[in-house]
Structure 1
Amino acid sequence: MVRGSISNTSTANLVLFLGLVFLTTVVSSKEWVVGDDKGWTSHIEHLWPGGRPIHGGDVLVFKYASSAHNVVEVDKAGYDSCSPGAGARTYSSGNDRITLPRGTSYFICSFPGHCKNGMKISVTAQ
């Protein structure tokens, strides 16, 4: 009987601990508006994220006129060449929310000439 009580208490403590870890992770994520008050626009490549402490689980918010731009999640080669590869995910709502994994993520605008004019960012989430 005592052994069962200890096991149940240990299990309850573990569940409580894991719940607190999960809540801490959820609460600590942050939203970042790409381009700040200017939004997703040309010549953003060297201005954003600009040293922001971005972490895995944070959300990038891309705000733009959907008739004039889009957001395409690409790999490093697509970023360097300004060319989305097969299977690249395209967003076009004008208010896109993308949750970042850990590591480096790459985004471009695929409208003609936009990426070549600096409408692309790479973001490294810790």
Structure 2
Amino acid sequence: MACHLLLVAGFAVSLAGATDHIVGANHGWNPNIDYSLWSGNQTFYVGDLISFRYQKGTHNVFEVNQTGYDNCTMAGVAGNWTSGKDFIPLNDSRRYYFICGNGFCQAGMKVAITVHPLKHNATGDGAKNHGGDGAAQEAAAAAMPGAAVWMAVLAVAAAAVAILP
């Protein structure tokens, strides 16, 4: 049990450096919004999340290929989400295409993003808290809101492991 707590706490701490990109910001995932403008103002890295907020039952999210995106069809469906608060990990450096599959794609509910690989350098430039060395990442994570909570969870899990026979 304690090992599971440690694993979960470690995973949560590793996400502390990830950026959660909320599609449309305060406008959410809705028709008649320029998502190309929104995505053009974002920089996505491997390990980040893209989040869609919308009215459950009215809208949804489908990951499709470029043909599906261009034509608002289900071509190349790679995933679908329907919760209304969808957190999608961006695990690969590539182009992603998302549409609403409930007929709202033609009304602008589609977004294409490019996910960049993590920067691997020793300068620790800290751009968006990605890349750099371990010390720079720890410092960046410690400076993030909520990082102290995750560190406390990790400390409690480590203490639980230490007291097991």
2:63 aligned residue: 73
Q: Quick one: structure 1 residues 93 and 50, their matched pair in 2 at CA, closer, same or farther if it must change by over 3 Å?
A: same
Counterpart pick for 1:119 among 93, 96, 109: 109
In structure 2, the gaps of 5 or more residues are 1-12, 117-165
Counterpart pick for 1:40 among 25, 29, 51: 29
Partners of 2:20 and 2:51 lie apart in 1 by 7
Runs of 4 or more consecutive aligned structure 1 residues displaced over 4 Å after TM superposition: 24-27
Aligned amino acid, residue 30 of structure 1: T
Counterpart pick for 1:31 among 20, 30, 43: 20
In structure 1, the gaps of 5 or more residues are 1-23
Deviations 1:9-47 (A, max 9, x none): xxxxxxxxxxxxxxx974432111111011111223332
Partners of 2:21 and 2:70 lie apart in 1 by 23
Matched pairs, number: 104
Pairwise CA RMSD: 2.2
User: Which structure is higher in helix share?
Assistant: 2
Partners of 2:39 and 2:16 lie apart in 1 by 21
Deviations 1:65-120 (A, max 9, x none): 012100000011110110012644211000001011211100000112x1111100
* Secondary structure class of the residue paired with 2:44: coil
Who wins on radius of gyration, i.e. which is larger?
1
Paired-residue identity, %: 34
- Equivalences for residues 74-89 of structure 1 within 5 A: 74-85=64-75, 87-89=77-79
Aligned-residue offset at 1:51: 2.5
2:9 aligned residue: none
2:44 aligned residue: 54
Output the TM-score relative to the length of structure 1: 0.73
1:110 and 2:101 equivalent? yes
Output the TM-score relative to the length of structure 2: 0.57
* Secondary structure class of the residue paired with 2:112: strand
* Secondary structure class of the residue paired with 1:46: helix
Aligned-residue offset at 1:54: 1.1
Partners of 1:106 and 1:37 lie apart in 2 by 21
Partners of 1:123 and 1:87 lie apart in 2 by 16
Q: Quick one: structure 1 residues 108 and 87, their matched pair in 2 at CA, closer, same or farther if it must change by over 3 Å?
A: closer
User: Which structure is higher in strand share?
Assistant: 1
Answer yes or no: is the 8 Å Cα contact 2:63–2:77 preserved in 1: no
Aligned-residue offset at 1:57: 1.1
